[in-house]
Amino acid sequence: MQRRDFIGSGSALIALALMSNSASASAEPHSPVPTPRAIQPITLKNIVIGAGEPKIIVSTTASHSEAVKDFVQQQAKRPEPAVIELRLDQLDNSDDVAAMVQLTRELYAILPDKLLLVTFRTKAEGGNQAIDDQRYAALYHQLLTHGQMDLLDIEMYRGTPQVEQLIALAHQQGVHVILSSHDFQQTPSQAEIISRLRQQQAMGADILKIAAMPHDAGDVLRMMSATWEMAQRYAQRPLLTMSMGGMGALSRLAGELTGSALTFGMAGSASAPGQLDAGDLSATLAMLHSSLSSEKPA
């Protein structure tokens, strides 16, 4: 399929997603619709999250710190990614807290013009290692008080007291929080997707994230429709949503239309199923941005 044909078919699917939103409104009960509130963009290091093209995140996948540093040095020179995600759970020595703290400081120094996102993705939400809530909170506490980063991914279901304390500490340290939820088994209902995102916002997240696995095209459309509804009706913070796997690729491209402000690209190995090459992703996002901008009244 030619790129033009792909974008055309993508536009049709997006239209179907938004049409399904209208249908779901009658099928699923909603609380009274509040007055729409504009999403407040976040600006860090002159990078604006929540306006214009979705910003690209690329993740580290290496198991050794030296390989991670080499990768980040390479990505620091590339134009596509705005955010580099350090995946601590991929590292063989992730239980060495002092080493992880030092690694964040070294990577932060390498990235004066890009954002460093630090993440320990637990096995319960698709990551590489299992960790209990207490160890998770203790690791993040040390990273926040002794490491350096721009963004920290906190899983919303790690335990309410720990999560609330980590959000408060992150904000005290000047670190922005992505609260996240991942479902590798299914795609929740549209009402549930929106409920989780609204809960993240109420908990004080700076960026609201949900990722889910689709079983068919309808699941992808539902994620996109839920993102659009959240952005239009409830969101005050930037969104980061996606359908995973190859079937969900369209959701990674359509964020500027549906309301997702960030998207993951692949540089080397993928950190999650369905990621697209960062270079191809950047080119397609730019093309879609140009098309969408041409639709705006002069």
**Residue 274: per-residue pLDDT:** 64
Give the integer Cα–Cα distance in Å for 25 and 102: 49
Tell me, yes or no, if 146 is annotated catalytic: no
Domains in the chain, number: 1
**Residue 75: per-residue pLDDT:** 96
User: Could you say which of 69, 114, 182, 296 is catalytic?
Assistant: 182
Per the annotation, binding residues for 3-dehydroquinate are: 59, 85-87, 121, 252, 271, 275
**For every one of its 298 residues, what pLDDT tens digit does the chain have, with 9 covering 90 and above?**
344 444 444 444 454 444 444 444 434 444 445 555 589 999 999 999 999 999 999 999 999 999 999 999 999 999 999 999 999 999 999 999 999 999 999 999 999 999 999 999 999 999 999 999 999 999 999 999 999 999 999 999 998 899 999 999 999 999 999 999 999 999 999 999 999 999 999 999 999 999 999 999 999 999 999 999 999 999 999 999 999 998 999 999 999 999 999 999 988 765 566 678 888 999 999 998 988 887 655 5
Contacts for 12 with CB less than 8 Å, ≥ 6 apart: none
Residue 61 contacts residue 268 (beta carbons within 8 Å): yes
**Residue 264: per-residue pLDDT:** 95
User: Could you say which of 64, 209, 215, 296 is catalytic?
Assistant: 209
Residue 173 contacts residue 145 (beta carbons within 8 Å): yes
115, 223, 264, 286 from 45: Cα distances, Å? 7, 30, 19, 21
CATH number at residue 16: 3.20.20.70
**Residue 8: per-residue pLDDT:** 44
Residue keyed to tokens 């601590």: 88
State which residues form the domain around 59. 3-31+39-294
Tell me, yes or no, if 209 is annotated catalytic: yes
Residues pairing with 267 in the sheet: 269
Give the integer Cα–Cα distance in Å for 203 and 165: 11
Backbone angles phi, psi at 297, to 5 degrees: -65, 145
**Residue 291: per-residue pLDDT:** 87
**SS3 call for 21:** helix
